[in-house]
Amino acid sequence: MSSATEVRDRVEELLSGPRPMTIVQAGDPVLRAVAEPYDGQLDEGLLAELLMAMRTTMHAAPGVGLAAPQVGLGLALAVVEDQWPVDEETATARERTPVPFRVLVNPRYEAVGDDRVGHYEGCLSVDGWQAVRSRWRTIRLRCQDELGTEVDEVLHGWPARIVQHETDHLLGRLYVDHAEMRSLVAPPNGLRWSDATPHRAAQALGFDLPQG
């Protein structure tokens, strides 16, 4: 467990570098360690600056979520935001609704019901690659926000997927750990299977999708 001083020093080091920050790629041990709980190691100003830098980095990537380990900080913090425009067919098929900017502090989730759904996912720390990942359709999220306010809410569809993805980062997990590897798409072919659902890819590549 790092001391508060060590955490502050690491954050100040990160913030002294370029913006957007460098996104750590798969193979770096920080992505495979369980992040330390956030318990006020940073003062209000330093925390706000870190979160703004993470948001800037997420937007520049571009992405819809970013966990602190992805910028080299093993602390249980993540930011999410999905305001990117999508067509109506895709929004409906993926149950994708806008996600306003929010901060997840010490997040955890549990399934609500037993429905799972598979969609292509990518990750800023596995740059350019995509694969189908089965996830819970509906979850209950518990965490705090950046002000320390307790959060307890149910999320459904694409917002639930984003939260699962980012929370998994804080547990040392990458989406590829449980992805359908027959669906894996290399960077030059990222648009090959850009349909609203992965059903055509499943048929062509020979993998199964969850039924529930």
Q: Is 123 annotated as a binding residue?
A: yes
Burial category of 27 from C-beta neighbours within 10 Å (exposed 0-12, middle 13-18, buried 19 and up): exposed
| Ordered DSSP codes for 38-64 | PSS-S-HHHHHHHHHHHHHHHHHTT-S
Decide if 138 contacts 154 (C-beta within 8 A). yes
Q: Is 165 annotated as a binding residue?
A: yes
Decide if 46 contacts 4 (C-beta within 8 A). no
Does 110 qualify as catalytic in the annotation? no
Tokens 């990942």 belong to residue: 133
List phi, psi (to 5°) of 106: 50, 50
Options 81, 121, 166, 180, the catalytic residue: 166
Residues that constitute the known binding site for Fe cation: 123, 165, 169
Which residues form the catalytic set?
Answer: 166
